[in-house]
């Protein structure tokens, strides 16, 4: 066999491979043309996925499709079609696609990557316990205020010097969810608290949800573990799960104690025992599932709030005139002699507008990644089975047709002519449907309480000799502001 014959044979095999593997795009939403087998994948090497998806929406509209490697991807860039897919057609679209880096790591455990019975029962149980805990009520607010008090005592030592608030915020917020889910709280500086915070945050920064590796299954193993940080992440995850194993054992030993505290882990283990005693064969409530579920809930409870508050502080530093408006409203409604309550927000429309604008501009969780197990339609377009459905939260929040000037930070866009709050359906920071963020209520309470608590006590500025922090961000599971220092100045006893 000559080299020419081998070459021709190779070309024929390549053509057959292209025909067999090329995803069928007939009847699908419009979108950019791509290379065979590769599609538009290489575009994600040069641009982070939320901004790339948003740029494509400006050309192809609020519903379009892409080929990313062998993945057929449908991107949703409007709140209308997001609600249509994830709420009205939620039975079809509220699934998780297989083959993501997340599923590679978690294997369908926990709640973020779980499917079918595991997801349904875990979600139902989690919502039930959170309601019993008093989510959205004064009982949860009391836990938040206790940690806020300790946080403000810690920040007192940082007055007048350059201060990156990130770690102290993270430890305070983690303590809130730690108490709810495990029944304990750490003191500031506790070594276990530090490595747990580091472990959770490192896991979040390793993978960009819509990034390059998600669409290249063969590269996920190689690419993930070629990152030097990944070895440390793997060790931290194992350490974290081992630590949870010990916590589970301690809780089991104390499960029959009538004076045991109320926390998520005890309630889970009680339900586990109940299902075992009932002789259920399809039991979901296993120790392994509990470890991953707790890990998921900590990540959600930690990162969403900490990232939101860091965006809040960044905009206060950049816009002292906005800070002054916020303080004037705070002073007129509450004063500085009592702590704000979550109920106070109803009389503070500008503060609520500021938080909504932070949710919009920051787009803390920029993408909502879903899947459909069977072929279906959306807006008359064919959606092949096992497509990846990406709700581009960032794109919705930065849609120029909706916001006119999305690049400008302007809380006033949420205030009407009578000075009242405008509630916009186009702010979908926590997504929509049954896969939305379970920690939304807690995140809203924490954001309002910490923001107003800090505003009562401090003015925020730029340390001498430091540049005004920029708006660049790090794109992982969340969009995080890049590290920055601020300068705290105590407010005088007299308002101002």
User: What φ, ψ does residue 461 adopt, rounded to 5°?
Assistant: -145, -175
Contact 362, 475 (CB under 8 A): no
User: What φ, ψ does residue 336 adopt, rounded to 5°?
Assistant: -120, 10
Q: Say how far residue 212 (Cα) sits from the centre of its chain.
A: 19
Pairing of strands 376-378, 381-383: antiparallel
Give the 3-state secondary structure of residue 196. helix
Give the 3-state secondary structure of residue 96. coil
Dihedral sign, Cα of residue 218, residue 222, residue 225, residue 226: negative
Return the CA Rg of the chain: 24
Contact 173, 298 (CB under 8 A): no
Q: Which residues belong to the annotated binding site for heme?
A: 437
**Contacting residues for 204 by C-beta, under 8 A, at least 6 apart:** 299, 303, 476, 477, 478
Q: Where are the alpha helices (DSSP H) in 334-470?
A: 349-362, 393-397, 400-403, 440-457
Give the 3-state secondary structure of residue 63. strand
Residue 146's nearest CA partner among 116, 180, 107, 115 is 180
Residue 216's nearest CA partner among 108, 373, 103, 99 is 99
Contact 77, 363 (CB under 8 A): no
Q: Which residues belong to the annotated binding site?
A: 437
> Can you read off the two tokens belonging to residue 28?
């699908």
| Residue for token pair 């053509």 | 15
Pairing of strands 487-490, 458-461: antiparallel
């Amino acid at each position: 066999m000559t080299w020419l014959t081998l070459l021709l044979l190779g070309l024929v095999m390549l053509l057959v491979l292209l025909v067999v593997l090329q995803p069928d795009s007939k009847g699908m939403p419009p979108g950019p043309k791509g290379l065979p087998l590769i599609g538009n994948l290489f575009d994600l090497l040069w641009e982070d996925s939320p901004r790339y998806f948003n740029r494509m929406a400006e050309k192809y509209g609020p519903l379009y499709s892409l080929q990313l490697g062998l993945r057929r991807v449908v991107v949703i860039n409007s709140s209308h079609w997001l609600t249509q897919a994830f709420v009205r057609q939620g039975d079809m679209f509220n699934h998780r696609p297989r083959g993501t880096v997340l599923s590679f790591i978690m294997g369908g455990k926990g709640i973020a990557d779980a499917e079918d019975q595991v997801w349904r029962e875990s979600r139902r149980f989690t919502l039930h316990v959170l309601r019993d805990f008093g989510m959205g009520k004064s009982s949860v607010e009391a836990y938040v205020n206790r940690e806020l008090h300790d946080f403000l005592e810690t920040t007192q030592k940082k007055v007048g010097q350059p201060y990156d608030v990130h770690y102290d915020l993270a430890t305070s917020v983690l303590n809130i969810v730690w108490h709810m889910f495990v029944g304990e709280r750490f003191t500031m500086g506790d070594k276990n608290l530090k490595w747990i915070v580091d472990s959770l945050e490192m896991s979040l920064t390793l993978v960009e949800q819509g990034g390059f590796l998600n669409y290249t299954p063969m590269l996920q193993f190689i690419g993930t573990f070629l990152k030097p940080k990944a070895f440390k992440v793997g060790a931290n995850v194992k350490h974290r799960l081992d630590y949870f194993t010990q916590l589970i054992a301690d809780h089991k030993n104390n499960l029959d104690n009538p004076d045991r505290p109320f926390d998520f882990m005890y309630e889970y283990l009680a339900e586990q025992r109940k299902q075992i005693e009932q002789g259920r064969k399809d039991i979901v409530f296993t120790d392994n599932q509990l470890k991953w579920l707790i890990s998921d809930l900590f990540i959600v409870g930690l990162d969403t709030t900490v990232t939101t508050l860091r965006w809040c502080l960044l905009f206060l530093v950049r816009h002292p005139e906005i800070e002054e408006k916020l303080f004037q409203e705070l002073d007129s409604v509450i004063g500085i002699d009592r702590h704000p309550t979550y109920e106070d927000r109803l009389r503070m429309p500008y503060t609520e507008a500021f938080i909504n604008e932070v949710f919009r501009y920051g787009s803390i969780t920029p993408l909502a990644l879903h899947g459909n197990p069977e072929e279906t339609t959306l807006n008359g377009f064919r959606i092949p089975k096992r497509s990846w459905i990406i709700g581009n939260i960032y794109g919705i929040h930065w849609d120029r047709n909706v916001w006119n000037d999305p690049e400008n930070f302007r809380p006033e866009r949420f205030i009407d002519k009578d000075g009242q709050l405008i509630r916009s359906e186009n702010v979908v920071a926590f997504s929509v449907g049954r896969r939305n963020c379970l920690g939304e209520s807690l995140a809203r309470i924490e954001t309002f309480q910490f923001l107003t608590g800090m505003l009562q006590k401090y003015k925020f500025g730029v340390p001498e000799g430091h540049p005004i922090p920029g708006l660049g961000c790090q794109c992982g599971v969340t969009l995080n502001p890049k590290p920055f220092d601020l300068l705290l100045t105590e407010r005088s006893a007299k308002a101002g």
